[in-house]
Amino acid sequence: MPPRLTGLSAFPITPASPEGTVDAPTLRRLVARLAAAPVDSIGLLGSTGTYAYLARQERLRALEAAVEEVAGRVPILVGVGALRTDEAIALARDANAAGASAGLLAAVSYTPLTEDEVFDHFVAVAEGSGLPLCIYDNPGTTHFRFTPALVGRLSRVPGIVALKSPSPAPSEAAAHLDTLRRAVPDGFPLGYSVDWHAAEALIAGGDAWYGVAAGLFPDSCAEIVAAARSGRADEARRLNGRLEPLWALFREFSSLRVIYAAAEALGLCATAPPRPIQPLSVETRRRVVATLREIGLA
């Protein structure tokens, strides 16, 4: 039975050496915190988990460590994106064999892809791996945007079980969700990323929040999800507003760089993002620490 991907999905970083060797013990500690929170799923090796910068064997090692640590308590959604279809199939097979609950598949590209090419890619990975797949719409990195029509086609493919979509501007959240609902079968989970807009997407009726901040601050993010899902829109907005200083840092410096600095500030791990991405400056890291203290997260 494929997992139903709803609620809060927390995306941790993947601690690794400068050479791309995963620090499995530290990763286990990060996912243990999330399983204990608890969150509804763990999004391993997403963009925050820098999947694109890791070799296949390191991606598998990270997944095996997380699966062993979580021991079935929380579903693990794992990134299986790759430039080549055969590589994505191999990664999805690895994930299936290692015990992942589902795969997160992006339309990774160098040459721009057509909708038919992306559709065929997803069908091949679903059929070739047996791993349930979540559509990962991440145009900021892949430069491909899933149209509602393509999402509708894919949602009817056996083994494709959910959508992770970037949250639109708050004023557009309800209309965006309504358009997607019309395209997919009843009950197909529609979830959102982009942390600073996710609260409005949840209030509009989105099924899941795929959160970067949730990878370090699951309790604060879970409060927003609970408020939105219980119809307490004003409370969800208030809780989200409390995190606005963090969202401002995400927008200014990127959530990836900020969350690495936050993990270090919390004493959870001292690791840098993979080069050529560089850590924040000392001065900016001080701003991150001050912000976390200001909003009660450190």
Q: What is the set of active-site residues?
A: 136, 164
Separation between Cα atoms, residue 273 and residue 267, nearest integer Å:
16
Rg (CA), the chain: 18
Give 238-245 contacts, CB < 8 A, sequence gap 24+.
239/199, 240/196, 240/199, 242/295, 243/213, 243/295, 244/196, 245/291, 245/294, 245/295
Separation between Cα atoms, residue 101 and residue 150, nearest integer Å:
24
Burial 190-203 (b: 16+ CB within 10 A, else e): bbbbbbbbbbbbbb
For 128, residues 6+ apart whose C-beta sits below 8 A from its C-beta are 89, 92, 93
